[in-house]
Amino acid sequence: MVLAEHTAGQVSEGTHELIGKAAELAAVLGGATEVALLGPRALADQLGDADVVVCVEHPALAEYLPEAYEEALLEVLAQRSPRLLLMSNATVGLDLGSALSVRWEAPLAAYVAALGFDDGALVATSKILGGKVLAEVELPGERAIATVLGGAFSAGAGEGGGGAEILGVAPPAALDALRMSLRRVVEPDAGDVDIAAADMLVSVGRGIETQDNLEIMAELADALGVPLSASRPVVDAGWLPKTRQVGQSGLKVKPRAYLAFGISGAPEHLEGMRGAELIVACNTDPGAPIFGIAHYGTTVDLFDLVPELVDRVHN
Do the domain assignments include residue 183?
no
Burial class (CB in 10 A: 0-12, 13-18, 19+), 92: buried
Look at residue 158 and tell me whether its pLDDT is greater than 60. no
Is-contact 139 123, C-beta < 8 A?
yes
> What are the phi and psi torsion angles at 230 (to 5°)?
-155, 165
Tell me, yes or no, whether 230 and 199 share the same domain: yes
For 177-215, write each residue's pLDDT tens digit: 999 998 888 776 666 788 988 999 999 999 999 999 999
Tell me, yes or no, whether 51 and 155 share the same domain: yes
Do the domain assignments include residue 185?
no
Is-contact 199 85, C-beta < 8 A?
no
Do the domain assignments include residue 115?
yes
Do the domain assignments include residue 13?
yes
For 243-288, write each residue's pLDDT tens digit: 899 987 788 899 999 999 999 998 889 888 988 999 999 999 999 9
CATH code at 286?
3.40.50.1220
Question: Using 50, 70 and 90 to split pLDDT, how confident is the model at 26?
Answer: very high
Do the domain assignments include residue 181?
no
Residue span of the structural domain in which 125 resides: 2-176
Query: Which residue, 224, 228, 225, is CA-closest to 195?
Result: 228
Do the domain assignments include residue 125?
yes
CATH code at 80?
3.40.50.620
Tell me, yes or no, whether 154 and 265 share the same domain: no
Do the domain assignments include residue 221?
yes
Query: Which residue, 281, 284, 315, 309, is CA-closest to 295?
Result: 281
pTM of this structure: 0.77
- pLDDT confidence of residue 145: 97
